[in-house]
Amino acid sequence: MKPFFTLVAILAAYTLQGQYHFSGQVAENYINQNVYLSLVEDYRKTSRVYLNQVFQTTVADSLGFFSFEGNSLPAQNRIYRIHVDGCEEGLNGKNHFLRECSTTESLLFIANNNDTISIPLLSGQAFCEVSSSNDASGLLLEMESLKEEMIVDFIGHHSKTASSIHYDNWFKKFQEFANSTNEPLVELSVYEFLSDRKNETYNHYLESLSTSTFYNDLQNSLLETYPDSKFTEQYRKELHADENLIESDENSFAFNSNIIVSLIILIMFIIGAFYILKKRKSNKGFATLTPQEQKITEAIKSGKTNKEIATELFISHSTVKTHVNNIYKKLGVSSRTELQSKF
């Protein structure tokens, strides 16, 4: 009996190590075709199929049922993809563009080595629901629903002000959803979506990065839950780079602002210096005039005619003309208007 109990103990220990079982059903047009299981460690590579992510392949049977099982997955949660590929040549076929077939259907979900997951066929549609022993498995589907709601909500909001308000609201919704899951992988997926440079959300993400604690909180959650994973280090580097980018932009703005202020001060200084030099020059020219010529010059500047000046100074009209000609020569002007504008 002793060998029997030893065997039972060994089998029990093996069972405790974990055994995953992922099963489901594909639509009729994918019957008897390959079904692929991928491990997605790089959160920037969730938008399409990547050949190097695929680690297990099976074939859907005549009713469309398929299953994956084993004991080789990480003990902690990870993001996985199951997809079907309608291209006749398979995953390496010529009908693929960037490893993506035009008829590919896929599902992203969260799981670990202990999970049993069922992906049912609903109303002829595959990969639209997840039934799992892991509460986190279907959260990425909920996130996709949020994305669709966001797209619909943005239809008709074209003004910059309206878009900015909507971005604020939707960033808050996504972040609150992510925080409510208590799963850093969901938070990381939200971050990936909001910070994607190809998305319209990117510029608003940079603004949000300066004010929201979501991103630093996510970094702390990843370091606590997944300290040794590649995606934690990837996130840490990206966040650091984005924060440096914002700081660089702020410094650049401050530098440019300082340049503009300096130029304004320089221009004002030049204008002031020109005015002072002009004033000094006019004063110097005015000093060369005789007392009588200075009186006549002041009278001209006040707009008086030669006749009015002659009456005021008790001199003849011709004498005023002579003085005016001498004034023009000494001051380097040729008319009353020029004299009035210069002095």
Q: What is the pLDDT of residues 157-172, one digit of tens each?
A: 666 667 778 888 999 9
What tokens does 151 get?
């797209």
The burial of 226, by beta-carbon neighbours within 10 Å (0-12 exposed, 13-18 middle, 19 or more buried), is given as buried
What pLDDT is stored for residue 309 in this prediction? 86
What pLDDT is stored for residue 282 in this prediction? 58
Which DSSP state fits 252? H
Q: Specify whether the CB–CB gap between 31 and 63 falls below 8 A.
A: yes
Q: How far apart are CA 161 and CA 166, in angstroms?
A: 9
What pLDDT is stored for residue 193 in this prediction? 95
What tokens does 210 get?
């300066």
CB atoms within 10 A of CB 334: 10
Which DSSP state fits 102? T
What pLDDT is stored for residue 263 in this prediction? 80
Q: Specify whether the CB–CB gap between 188 and 174 falls below 8 A.
A: no
What pLDDT is stored for residue 8 in this prediction? 38
Low-confidence ranges of the chain (pLDDT < 50): 1-16
